[in-house]
Chains A and B, each alone.
Chain A
Amino acid sequence: MNDAIVHSVEFDRERCIACVACCKACPTQAIRVRERQVALDPDRCIDCGECIRACPYDAVSARTSSPSDLKKFKYTVAIPSTTLFSQFGGEVHPSQIAHALTRIGFDRVHDVSWMCEMVGRAVDTYLSECREPWPKISVTCPAVIRLIQIRYPDLVPHLLPIESPRELAAKLVRRRVSQELGLKAQDIGIFYLTPCSAIMHSILWPVGLDESHLDGAFSVAEIYGPLRKAIEEGDRDAAGFEFSPKGLQWAMAGGETAMMRTRNTLAISGTQDVTYVFDRIESGKFRGVDFIEAYICPDGCVSGPLLVEGRYAAKRTIREVVSRLGARTPVQEEKVRSLWHEHFFDMEEEVKARPVRAPARDLREAVRLKQEKDRLVASLPRKDCAACGAPTCQALAEDVLHGAASTDDCVFVRLERLASPSAGPGEEAPSSSGAGEGGGRATPPRPGEGT
């Protein structure tokens, strides 16, 4: 996949009031608000959906499939994320939800939880055979993979070379439906019911495989209403589907490692904790750990930005659902082994680093730029208020160096200038020499600019 990056995250220019909530929330500093417009850097965005969560005006959303997409196929299959079963309370059996899905427009429902369990076993096998570098890092969260690609290129070799359960489930069900019904592979539409924008992005622009096995995804929040109604109208018959209780736990951080043979694992979640741990793995810490399960969303997929239920309630529900299902497992060890030998679980392509910052051609020039940036940062208030439209004073300084902003964009710099209009280059006031633009922007604030 070398084409231009396709993101799932979208901004509604009508609803956006150009506040900076998204800009401050973005873990990769991909968002700027300039000229009362929000701008996304496509190379930095990892589609984690923090902006969707942060926006108070509902102006950020995830591009997902629409009902008309279903009409493009002769036969449609829904693969619900394990998180779907955390949305309707512990009284509702996963089979009721699966049956209800067939009543709102899908021809078939395919469970992913048993594939989660199979992949878990495959990871176990892999960990017992693989070599350095340690620790291995899970690839379940697409936003984590992308974060590593752009910000931690050196951790790319730590990523498991094993495909995610949702892609493998889609691969398998397409084969099966095609054989059973004699349909051409392209006539079968397979749609994921996703808790997040990152998974939608991974379908539009996959990493580790050439083309996604999924044809699209619907947001859980979008189908929630009709689905809830269909569940209430349907009978409480729980037959017809078999779920893996172990696999269902993948909805929460810790679910993946809970079923592993090795106990020498960590489960980390939330951007802050993930970057904290990744920073330290880069410095050689955590070498003694076998496996790290990492999610951008706090507590894992249960807090995905496209879910309805709050994460604590969702976690309680999943635990209840799992305990009601009991300890049975639909997964046979021999089946996993034979698929393992077929290389069924392998990622098709190598994941490659995609660092945002190009290595400097000239070290002297790089040092000069850094020193200039440090000087700029020192001249800024360092309140990281983001009123200028950059998330931090550091980010504004970088933008100024790249000619994309001016220190005059800083409210405090402008206030200071107003207070001492005579401030010349000799004083503390920052020079705008490196800015390239913004010469005319220093003068009186435009009307209506106050918030």
Chain B
Amino acid sequence: MNDSGAQGEVLYRESYGITGNDFEHGGDVATRVKSVLKELGIDSATVRRLSIANFEAEMNVIMYAERATLDLTVSRDEIRVAVTDRGPGIPDVEQAMQEGFSTATSQMRSRGFGAGMGLPNMKRNTDRFEVESVPGRGTTLRYAVRLVSAGAA
């Protein structure tokens, strides 16, 4: 076995589709990813932080985009997620990253979505967080959480 570079070596990979406006299944992908990570024995605090980010990302797609793919990549030192959507994009990423900024309609808010905490909340719960957006085309979110205990010893 090749031990060099084992830290970044991908151990597990899976992709999930998310459909815009599919409120009926809102949260299903985040829940499925969570059960996979639990099954892999990832510690529950890490699973939780990532699940919060996944849930926000999933709901953002359902509320604003046409469709997206969530790619999960587990390596020894971190869990990476990329959510690539086809949608309107975010015109002002900097503004969207501010706490409290939301374009959610009041109808959405009353259903508990779009409290204006989406992106900042994702950033808070992850160790790496990047937004790439092309207005009119779509948005890609890339984020990761570090795995502390794994790889040691």
Contact = CB atoms under 8 A, between A and B. Distances in A.
Interface of A: 153-154, 279-280, 282-286, 288, 353, 355, 357-360, 363-364, 366-367, 370, 373
B36 A370 contact: yes
B39 A370 contact: yes
16 contacts: A154-B48, A279-B31, A282-B48, A283-B30, A283-B51, A283-B55, A284-B51, A284-B52, A284-B121, A288-B112, A353-B44, A359-B41, A359-B43, A363-B11, A364-B11, A366-B40
A353 B121 CA distance: 26
A154 B147 contact: no
Given A153-B44, A367-B40, 10 more contacts: A280-B27, A283-B51, A283-B54, A284-B52, A284-B55, A284-B56, A285-B112, A355-B44, A359-B42, A370-B12
A153 B150 CA distance: 20
A367 B44 contact: no
Contacts of A286: 112
Q: Which of A279, A285, A359, A363 has the most CB of B within 10 A?
A: A363
Among A283, A360, A367, A370, max chain B CB count under 10 A is at A283
Query: What is the size category of the interface that chain B forms with chain A?
Result: 20 to 34
A367 B42 CA distance: 11
B41 A288 contact: no
B41 A279 contact: no
A353 B48 CA distance: 15
Nearest 5 Cβ contacts at the A-B interface: A360-B41, A284-B52, A283-B55, A283-B51, A359-B41
A284 to B, nearest CB: 4
A363 B74 contact: yes
B76 interface: yes
A380 B40 CA distance: 21
A293 to B, nearest CB: 18
B112 A363 contact: no
A140 B18 CA distance: 38
B128 interface: no
Interface in B107-153: 112, 115, 121, 125, 147, 150
Contacts of B55: 280, 283-285
B25 interface: no
A355 B48 CA distance: 15
Contact of A283 (B31, B38, B44, B45): B31
A371 to B, nearest CB: 8
Nearest to A373: B39
B34 to A, nearest CB: 6
B51 A363 contact: no
